[in-house]
Structure 1
Amino acid sequence: MATGTRYAGKVVVVTGGGRGIGAGIVRAFVDSGAQVVICDKEESGGRALERELPGTLFILSDVTKEADMRVLVSETLRQFGRLDCVVNNAGYHPPPQWPEETSLQGFRQLLEVNLLGMYTLTKLALPHLRKSKGNIINISSLVGAIGQLQAVTYVATKGAVTAMTKALALDESRHGVRVNCISPGNIWTPLWQELAAAAPDPKAEIKEGTLAQPLGRMGQPAEVAAAAMFLASEASFCTGIELLVTGGAELGYGRKASPGTPVKVLPDAC
């Protein structure tokens, strides 16, 4: 289908839509003819996209606040009269922490952003998605399946997102609502840049992130956005799937022991 008509007449809500992967997804849906509601708790990026892209509406809102999510859904319906797709993208990756450095309060806050925000908006949107036979796309992460060093709380939230996606897909199939998730690997976003900048050696951190993919590069937000467009518009027989957008980072064997880990070499391996 030609660009500009692939999702014409549809209404999409994208959380965390003001920058990074979210902004890429907003652009892809607009390019495909959809009207897009940008949800973000930071005003600058969302307002800039609203000014730049016709057919968008920015609503300043925080996914951790149920009242904000109620307004987001009601305003979407007031402005556009329908809802066809929710992209639950808002999320946060804390700086690296060993388990003993984490806190219960920090974990709770991360759960609020990465998991419970998705749950809240999804629950409020479902009655309207059922009417349109729409779909939900949750942004999870590859590390929810394979783990990540110094990221136990983040990994736990993303593993839960993937599991919730599968459970929702089962529940909503009777209403004709599809629920899928995308699990990106290393995507070059402002958040990735911020995490790298906070590392002791930012250049080395970026190099490691780049070398983690057999394709030899990080992904771009537009590549995650293309996967979202596929799930929303063409993947009509897909529900409950986890679509990996990772450059092959999960493939093959590789060095996994970190410096300082005791290593036992078998006698006959010498």
Structure 2
Amino acid sequence: MAAESGAQVVICDKNELGGQALEQELPGTVFLRCDVTQEEDVRALLSETVRCFGRLDCVVNNAGYHPPPQRPEETSAQDFRQLLELNLLGTYTLTKLALPHLRRSRGNVINISSLVGAIGQSQAVPYVATKGAVTAMTKALALDESQYGVRVNCISPGNIWTPLWEELAALTPNPMATVREGTLAQPLGRMGQPADVGAAAVFLASEANFCTGIELLVTGGAELGYGCKAHGSTPVEAPQIPS
């Protein structure tokens, strides 16, 4: 979306083949290999970006992963640390190292968080914790960077149909039922597309000049209204109805 709007876009990925394929798919983009959990990779990414284009106006922190469903007792501290390295510390490191450039350009940061960081998600304690931290960090950074004219916002998507969503659905006993459940979670009656998130990022980067520290929900309304939350094994106390 950003490239289509005329921006000069650098994309990064630690998967070189995937990144090169995306570069071919999106005209006007430049691919640079980078593992955001490695600080030296991040330094090189920023240095090469500024060398190529002379400035840096916006950083979108989109690297992240959602593990398969796990009950709390099935998680490990080591797996949690690795997820923190990617979902939270990768965002922190890239932002921290980009700030000198963004202060010069009075640019902005867009962090990709998640709706579940605010409302929770079953069998996803580490993931929810990392995304809740991204949203909180966004607000703290917005306060610190406002004195330099740098805006910091985040996008919290809901169900967005991506290869990862499809991969996780395939691990469930009935993938088609899982996809249908995910689709029906939105009052709009569909899952979002990556382009929906991209359009929100373009808006925050180029039009939302009086917005900082906000969490923009791109969810199709999934957080609205009431729904059935208790499981069959959950003790339920029904109110007594007078006869």
1:149-168 equivalences under 5 Å are: 149-168=122-141
Q: Which amino acid is the alignment partner of residue 140 of structure 1?
A: S
Question: SS state of the match for residue 93, structure 1?
Answer: coil
**Is 1:206 the counterpart of 2:184 in the alignment?**
no
Structure 1 Cα separation of the partners of residues 231 and 67 of structure 2: 20
Q: One-letter code of the match for 2:170?
A: A
Corresponding residue for 2:83?
Answer: 110
Question: Equivalent of 2:97, from 124, 135, 141?
Answer: 124
Structure 1 residues 192-231: aligned runs within 5 Å:
192-231=165-204
- Give the alignment partner of residue 31 of structure 2, picking from 47, 58, 80: 58
What is the match of residue 20 of structure 1? none
* 1:76, distance to aligned residue in structure 2 (A): 0.5
Deviations 1:182-220 (A, max 9, x none): 000000000100000111111111111111111111001
The partner residue of 1:187 within 160, 164, 169 is: 160
What CA distance in whole angstroms lies between the structure 1 residues aligned with 2:225 and 2:90? 34
Deviations 1:18-76 (A, max 9, x none): xxxxxxxxxx1110111111111112221012224333211111111111101100110
Who is 1:72 aligned against?
Answer: 45
How far is the alpha carbon of 1:79 from its aligned partner?
1.1
| Range with bigger deviation, 50-59 or 194-203 | 50-59
- AA paired with 2:71? W
Aligned letter for 1:31? E
Identity of aligned residues (%): 78
Q: Does 1:29 pair with 2:16?
A: no
Gaps of 5+ in 1: 1-27
Deviation at 1:149, TM superposition (A): 0.4
1:267 alignment partner, SS class: coil
The equivalent residue for 1:265 is 238
Q: How far apart in 2 are the matches of 1:49 and 1:265? A: 53
Aligned mate of 2:110, from 137, 142, 145 = 137
TM-score (norm 2): 0.98
TM-score normalised to structure 1 length? 0.88
Q: How does 1:235-250 map to 2 (within 5 A)?
A: 235-250=208-223
Q: 2:234 & 2:192 partners in 1: Cα distance?
A: 30
The number of residues matched between the two structures is 243
Q: What runs of 5+ residues in structure 2 fail to find an aligned partner?
A: none
